[in-house]
């Protein structure tokens, strides 16, 4: 797979996960491909701040305290924001994965995730021009 270097781009990837170690790990991995990363401990923190126009992708834990990842994705969509979302799951089952995909997730990845697999998926999403976000 071709390397995607977005360092010259104004690309931000949003991470929403209640586990600080996961947020730090993802921030380090994604910085390695040149992304700016914004991290949040819960869905409500992201929604309070709002999604910025340069956000190209969201990676969120599905099982968050308060609003879960699927509901976060739906709430963002209801605000007129369209961006690819990868949901992570420390607890998953087939019905939840199906609900996530039906709600618009581009992937549903179990934790613990394999770094190269997650990065490959992010690269694929970022290189796919049809996923240009729509932010009002």
**pLDDT per position as a tens digit, 37-88:** 999 999 999 999 999 888 999 999 999 999 999 999 999 999 999 899 999 9
Query: In this structure, is residue 20 part of a structural domain?
Result: yes
Spatial separation of the C-alpha atoms in residues 20 and 74, rounded to whole Å:
24
Q: Is the pLDDT of residue 132 over 90?
A: no
Query: In this structure, is residue 38 part of a structural domain?
Result: yes
Other C-beta atoms closer than 10 Å to the C-beta of 124 total 15
Query: In this structure, is residue 121 part of a structural domain?
Result: yes
Query: In this structure, is residue 1 part of a structural domain?
Result: no
Give the residue with greater pLDDT, 110 vs 91. Answer: 110
Alpha carbon 7 to its chain's center: 18
What domain range includes position 19?
12-127
Query: In this structure, is residue 25 part of a structural domain?
Result: yes
Query: In this structure, is residue 29 part of a structural domain?
Result: yes
Q: What is the mean pLDDT of residues 21-47?
A: 95
Spatial separation of the C-alpha atoms in residues 94 and 102, rounded to whole Å:
12
Spatial separation of the C-alpha atoms in residues 62 and 109, rounded to whole Å:
10
Specify burial of residue 63 (Cβ count, 10 A radius: 0-12, 13-18, 19+): middle
Give which of 22, 26, 63 is closest to 43, Cα–Cα: 63
CATH of the domain at 23: 3.40.50.2300
């Amino acid at each position: 797979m071709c390397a995607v270097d977005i360092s010259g781009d104004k690309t931000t990837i949003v991470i929403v996960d209640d586990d600080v170690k996961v947020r730090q790990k993802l921030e380090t991995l994604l910085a390695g491909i040149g992304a700016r990363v914004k991290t949040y401990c819960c869905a409500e923190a992201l929604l309070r701040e709002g999604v910025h126009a340069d956000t190209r992708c969201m990676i969120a834990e599905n099982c968050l305290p308060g609003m879960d990842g699927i509901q976060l994705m739906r709430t963002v969509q209801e605000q007129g924001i369209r961006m690819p979302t990868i949901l992570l799951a420390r607890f998953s089952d087939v019905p939840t994965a199906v609900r996530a995909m039906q709600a618009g997730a581009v992937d549903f990845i179990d934790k613990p995730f394999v770094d190269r697999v997650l990065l490959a998926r992010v690269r694929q999403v970022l290189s796919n021009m049809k996923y240009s976000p729509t932010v009002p």
